[in-house]
C-alpha cells in the first residue's frame, strides 16, 4: 500500500514507546503528523503534554499541534496518577528519566474543536491511539460524524490469545479504562487492534540504542538514554524477550501499512467485572454477526517491521 501523503492524528500518553511511535511517524516518508492528542496513561495528562512537546521539539517538529485530552478514566473521580509500577517502567518523568528540555508552550486546547473541523471537512487522516481509549470514547460521543470521517482507527492495546501485562487477562491501555475501550469496540467504529499478541514479537535491544549513540545528535542520545532505561526494566520484568517490546511504534506502522500484520476479523468487547476486568474478548452477543468491526492483529512480519523501524527512527534522530 502506498504511503504517499498520509496524515496521522496520534492519540498518545507519552511514554517511552509513544515517543518511539512519534519518531517512527516523523521519520516515515510521505507522512505528516497532523496533530497529537494527549491522554493520561503512562503519566498524568499534563506531563504527557510536556513530554509530547519536548519530544516534538527534540525531533525538530515544534509546528505539530498538540491538544489536551482526558486526564482520567471515564468512571474516575480524580485525575489519573501513575502507580509505583508504572513510574518504575517509564521513569518518574515518563521518559525513562532522560533529561527533558524546551517544552515551553501555550496551554493546549481541547482536541474536540479540532476534531469537529476534521469531521466537517472530511479530512483524509489516520487516527492511531497508543494510550487508554478514553479520548476516543469521549470524542465519538461529542463529535458528530467523527466515526465515519476517521474510517478504521488503529489502537495499541488488548490481548486476545496471549496473557495481559497488568493482570493475567488485561493489557495496560485497556486496563486503564475498560469502560471506554468497551464503548469504542461496541460502538460501531471500525478498528484495528495491535495488542500484545503482536507487540511482544517486535523487540528492540541495546545494539540499536548503541547505534543511536553513534549518530551523535542530542535527539539520538536522548532516545538512547530513554530506551536503555526501558530495556533495563524489561530485562527484570520480561527477561524472555531479550529487549523491550515496540508496542506503540507497531501500531503506527500497521496503520500506515496494514500488510505488516495478519488479522482475525471479530467483534470484540471488554470484560468490565470480576477478575477478568479489562480482558479483550470476542463479544458473545455478536459472534454470528456477518459484519465484524475489528481487525485483530495476531501475526506480524517482525523482520520487515524492524527494518522499517530502524530506517525511520534513525532518520528522525539524525
List active site positions.
247
Min CB(55)–Ca ion separation in Å: 13
Min CB(12)–Ca ion separation in Å: 6
Contact between 152 and 158 under an 8 Å Cβ cutoff? The reply is no
Give the DSSP per-residue string, 211-227: HHHHH--HHHHHHHHHH
Min CB(228)–Ca ion separation in Å: 19
How far apart are the C-alpha atoms of 241 and 223, rounded to whole Å? Answer: 20
Give every CB contact of residue 196 below 8 A, 6+ residues apart in sequence: 158, 159, 162, 163, 164, 165, 171, 245, 247
Question: Given the complex with Ca ion, which of 149 and 270 has the nearer CB atom?
Answer: 270
How far apart are the C-alpha atoms of 22 and 24, rounded to whole Å? Answer: 5
Contact between 215 and 316 under an 8 Å Cβ cutoff? The reply is no
Min CB(94)–Ca ion separation in Å: 10
Cell of 278: 479489562
How far apart are the C-alpha atoms of 155 and 255, rounded to whole Å? Answer: 9
How far apart are the C-alpha atoms of 55 and 44, rounded to whole Å? Answer: 16
Question: Given the complex with Ca ion, which of 119 and 177 has the nearer CB atom?
Answer: 177
Question: Given the complex with Ca ion, which of 13 and 301 has the nearer CB atom?
Answer: 13
The 10 Å Cβ neighbour count of residue 263 is 18
Contact between 154 and 21 under an 8 Å Cβ cutoff? The reply is no
Residues near Ca ion (CB under 5 A) are 13, 15, 18, 130-131, 248
Min CB(237)–Ca ion separation in Å: 16
Residue 42 Cα to chain centre, angstroms = 11
Question: Given the complex with Ca ion, which of 131 and 164 has the nearer CB atom?
Answer: 131
How far apart are the C-alpha atoms of 183 and 137, rounded to whole Å? Answer: 6
How far apart are the C-alpha atoms of 192 and 310, rounded to whole Å? Answer: 23
Contact between 191 and 293 under an 8 Å Cβ cutoff? The reply is yes
DSSP state, residue 131: S
The secondary element (H helix, E strand) that includes residue 55 is helix 45-58
Residues in a beta bridge with 33: 8
Question: Given the complex with Ca ion, which of 52 and 293 has the nearer CB atom?
Answer: 52
Question: Given the complex with Ca ion, which of 12 and 118 has the nearer CB atom?
Answer: 12
Min CB(42)–Ca ion separation in Å: 6
Amino acid at each position: 500500500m502506498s504511503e504517499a501523503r498520509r496524515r496521522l492524528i496520534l492519540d498518545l500518553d507519552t511514554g517511552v514507546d509513544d515517543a518511539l511511535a512519534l519518531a517512527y511517524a516523523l521519520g516515515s516518508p510521505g507522512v505528516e503528523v497532523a496533530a497529537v492528542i494527549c491522554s493520561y496513561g503512562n503519566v498524568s495528562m499534563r506531563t504527557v503534554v510536556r513530554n509530547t512537546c519536548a519530544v516534538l521539539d527534540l525531533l525538530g517538529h515544534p509546528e505539530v499541534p498538540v491538544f489536551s485530552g482526558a486526564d482520567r478514566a471515564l468512571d474516575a473521580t480524580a485525575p489519573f496518577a501513575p502507580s509505583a509500577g508504572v513510574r518504575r517502567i517509564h521513569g518518574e518523568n515518563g521518559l525513562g528519566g532522560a533529561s527533558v528540555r524546551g517544552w515551553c508552550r501555550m496551554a493546549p486546547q481541547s482536541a474536540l474543536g479540532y476534531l469537529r473541523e476534521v469531521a466537517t471537512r472530511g479530512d483524509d487522516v489516520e487516527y492511531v491511539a497508543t494510550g487508554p481509549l478514553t479520548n476516543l470514547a469521549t470524542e465519538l460521543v461529542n463529535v458528530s460524524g467523527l466515526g465515519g470521517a476517521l474510517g478504521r482507527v488503529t489502537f495499541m492495546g488488548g490481548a486476545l490469545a496471549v496473557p495481559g501485562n497488568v493482570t493475567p487477562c488485561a493489557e495496560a491501555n485497556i486496563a486503564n479504562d475498560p469502560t471506554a475501550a468497551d464503548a469504542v469496540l461496541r460502538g460501531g467504529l471500525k478498528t484495528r487492534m495491535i495488542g500484545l499478541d503482536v507487540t511482544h514479537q517486535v523487540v528492540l535491544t541495546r545494539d540499536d540504542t548503541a547505534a543511536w549513540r553513534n549518530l551523535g545528535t542530542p535527539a539520538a542520545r536522548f532516545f538512547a538514554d530513554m530506551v536503555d532505561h526501558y530495556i533495563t526494566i524489561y530485562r527484570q520484568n520480561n527477561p524472555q524477550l531479550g529487549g523491550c517490546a515496540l508496542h506503540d511504534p507497531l501500531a503506527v506502522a500497521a496503520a500506515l501499512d496494514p500488510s505488516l500484520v495478519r488479522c482475525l476479523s471479530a467483534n470484540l468487547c471488554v470484560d468490565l467485572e470480576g477478575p477478568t476486568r479489562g480482558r479483550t474478548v470476542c463479544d458473545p452477543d455478536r459472534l454470528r454477526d456477518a459484519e465484524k468491526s475489528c481487525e485483530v492483529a495476531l501475526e506480524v512480519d517482525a523482520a520487515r517491521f524492524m527494518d522499517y523501524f530502524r530506517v525511520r527512527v534513525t532518520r528522525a534522530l539524525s
